[in-house]
Amino acid sequence: MTDTAAQAGELDVLCVGNSIVDVLTQTDDAMLEKFGMVKGTMALIDADQAEALYAQMSPAVETSGGSAGNTAAGLASLDAKCAFIGRVRDDQLGDIFTHDIRSIGVEYATPAATDGPPTARCLILITPDAQRTMNTFLGASVNLGPEDIDKDLVARAKVTYLEGYLWDRDEAKAAFLRAAGLAAAKNRMVSLSLSDPFCVDRHRDSFREFVAGHVDVLFANEDEIMSLYQVENFDEALQHVRQDCRIAALTRSEKGSVVVSGEEVHVVDAEPVGAVVDTTGAGDQFAAGFLHGLTRGEDLATCARIGGIAAAEVIAHVGPRPQVKLADLVVQKL
Amino acid sequence: MTDTAAQAGELDVLCVGNSIVDVLTQTDDAMLEKFGMVKGTMALIDADQAEALYAQMSPAVETSGGSAGNTAAGLASLDAKCAFIGRVRDDQLGDIFTHDIRSIGVEYATPAATDGPPTARCLILITPDAQRTMNTFLGASVNLGPEDIDKDLVARAKVTYLEGYLWDRDEAKAAFLRAAGLAAAKNRMVSLSLSDPFCVDRHRDSFREFVAGHVDVLFANEDEIMSLYQVENFDEALQHVRQDCRIAALTRSEKGSVVVSGEEVHVVDAEPVGAVVDTTGAGDQFAAGFLHGLTRGEDLATCARIGGIAAAEVIAHVGPRPQVKLADLVVQKL
């Protein structure tokens, strides 16, 4: 249901990212090898590559995705007030993305591009081990630039949350930096998700500079944080990151998460989960749960537990967004 | 994988129907009441109604559907050789439909419309009782006409299978009648699914005439067959239909199916199923299994059992097409 009432007052979180429709299919390892994909990572592909890969894919299911978009969906499911900035085109996949995010009450007003490439899609191959390997055609997302960052939205949000994938294009990076600058100027928190070890690898120096200079709350998984600091083990990365930003929430799959904030360190177990079906969106939902706790003034360990509950829900089914009301789940499980 | 090798030789089944992308969402009974929908049925809606309903819907998942398209997908999963005729537009939803059906090896060559309304979609509301209530915007499907019925395809197919929904438009009905005429001329079987009790109600007289005059294999559920003959109980309908067509396969949900062919009558129990999640596609998959048995020369009771196995698979998950290889399932269960 479109929630026009939400279009005023303070926001908990403003999420900024690529507007992407996911195209999910189940496959085997041979398919990944055939296309030279690295399991569990995201690769950028162009329109021709997207077409060639899609032609080889089994029947698929389409559903709204995008890292920060998924986080916004998680936050909405937790009854947080949030908004999203990201570009679609005025085409059918753009309509789907827009419908899905608005229908859960997320403010989303970035105008759809009226020309240029079509709405972004991510071809996701799910292997029997529940890993997802992603191939993103950025499409209309490449139209996101600094002019799309609505100053008022940033000012209204307790936290502005940015997905690292934006770093892959100069214009989006400029949008990202503008959002961070505006948030800092209003004494609002800036949060970043590193998104992917290869994304970190492509932009290591500028990421490190940004993390040290501007990030209040950093999200990363084990591979990403080790890649950021080019170290060989998790603990070394941990020691680095605690110097660099106010709060770092590091996820370690079945080993749970570690949260550091200066002297404060919490090692939080993973939430029990039955069969892991599809890990797509696990990091995005962890961020949603954590930020929800943070904006409600919960202590950091509780924030990590809420993140873990949200992540456990999303990995138990195919698709990157929650299928049950996370707010109810948190009441039950916390 | 696109199977170009399949584009020659005899076909088991040619399916003709509307090319539709399903938009599935879970909802409650209040939503159906609000829009005056009759649970478990299909209603035709126009572009404006589709937009108004979509605006009120929760986030959705998009997946290829269409009654005869689902049957083609089931047949492919059973390793039958089959083809599909139906119209999309050259848009993103049309690309999705085309990709999905070709990627499972179904021959599909109906040219996409280059102007006119967009690809058809069916807004499906799934209630907690696993019933699906469908609202179809026919879109580009309205471009299907007799000229789309490829004479060679009909001649190559042991069975030409038609969905009753085509009867809703004169041009599609003309396509339908042309296909039936061509099949009969080549001594091939004609099969019809009644599709929906309201569809039967809209076209009762012409359906009865067609069933009596042209149909070799009729598929109907309890409500549909009772509506066709305007009788109050199943047995009365059964007595009527055995006079009218060579083989009738009547499905009765958890009560299984009844198959009649002249003096021959089989009452076949339903395949056991765990939780029923979404009944979308149950009839389509029953038809797929039944026709697969028939084209392989199985006896009618075995045909009904294969139909039941295919239907049981599809109602155990959301979405109208099989998610496992039906050929393997039949080997296990038969």
**For the segment B95-107, what is each residue's pLDDT rounded down to a tens digit?**
999 999 999 999 9
Going by C-alpha positions, the residue among A111, A64, A63 that lies closest to residue A86 is A111
CB contact under 8 A, A59 and B92: no
Count of C-beta atoms within a 10 Å radius of residue A265: 12
Alpha-carbon gap, residue A17 to A23, rounded angstroms: 18
Looking at domain A4-14+67-87+95-107+143-333, its CATH class is: alpha beta
Task: With beta carbons less than 8 A apart as the criterion, state whether B232 and B217 touch.
Answer: no
> 3-class DSSP state for residue B84?
strand
pLDDT averaged per 10 residues, chain A (length 334):
54 97 93 92 92 92 95 98 97 96 96 95 93 93 92 96 91 91 95 91 93 95 95 90 93 92 89 86 96 97 96 92 95 93
pLDDT of residue B168: 86
Per-residue exposure over A31-55, b if at least 16 CB sit within 10 Å of its own CB, e if not: bbeebebeebbbbbbeeeebeebbe
- Residue B332 distance to chain A (closest CA, Å): 21
For residue A154, which amino acid is it?
A: V
Write out pLDDT tens, residues B98-137.
Answer: 999 999 999 999 999 999 999 999 999 999 988 889 999 9
Q: Among A120, A60, A70, which residue's Cα sits nearest to residue A100?
A: A70
Q: What mean pLDDT is predicted for residues B284-309?
A: 97
CA distance B73 to chain A (A): 10
Nearest to B2 among A55, A64, A73 (CB): A55
Q: Write out chain B residues lying below 8 Å of A62, CB-based.
A: 61-63, 96
Topology (CATH level 3) of domain B4-333: UDP-N-acetylmuramoyl-L-alanine:D-glutamate ligase (3.40.1190)
Q: Count Cα atoms within 13 angstroms, Cβ side, for B96.
A: 30
- The C-alpha torsion from A290 through A292 and A297 to A300, rounded to 10°, is -10
Which of A26, A51, A96, A280 to mutate: most B Cβ within 10 Å?
A: A96
Cβ within 8 Å, pair A2-B103: no
Q: Band the pLDDT of B326: cuts 50, 70, 90.
A: very high
CA distance A56 to chain B (A): 5
Is the model's pLDDT at B2 over the cut of 50?
A: no
CB contact under 8 A, B64 and A59: yes
Q: What is the ipTM of this complex?
A: 0.73
Task: Choose among A61, A103, A104: nearest Cβ to B61.
Answer: A61
Contact residues of B toward A, CB < 8 A: 1-2, 54-64, 73, 91-93, 96, 99-101, 103-104, 118-119, 319, 321
Interface probe with A: pick from B21, B92, B325, most Cβ of A within 10 Å: B92
Q: At what angle do helices A170-185 and A204-214 cross, to 10 degrees?
A: 10
Minimum distance, in Å, between the CA of residue B249 and any CA atom of chain A? 29
User: Which alpha helices (DSSP H) does B158-221 contain, by range?
Assistant: 170-185, 197-202, 204-214
Tens digits of per-residue pLDDT, A249-261? Answer: 999 998 899 999 9
Whether residue B56 and residue A1 make contact (CB cut-off 8 A), yes or no, is yes
**pLDDT interval class at B221 (50, 70, 90):** very high
pLDDT of residue A8: 65
Q: Which two tokens stand for residue B296?
A: 């392989």
Residue in A2, A60, A321 nearest the CB of B55: A2
**DSSP 8-state code for residue A266:** E
When pLDDT is cut at 50, 70 and 90, the band that residue B5 belongs to is very low
Q: Given an 8 Å threshold on Cβ–Cβ distance, is B58 in contact with A104?
A: yes
Query: What does the alpha-carbon distance between residue B56 and residue B33 come to, in Å, rounded to a whole number?
Result: 13
Crossing angle for the helix pair B282-295 and B67-77, to the nearest 10 degrees: 50
Give residue B8's pLDDT.
66
Burial of B36 (0-12, 13-18, 19+ CB in 10 A): exposed
pLDDT at B191 over 80: yes
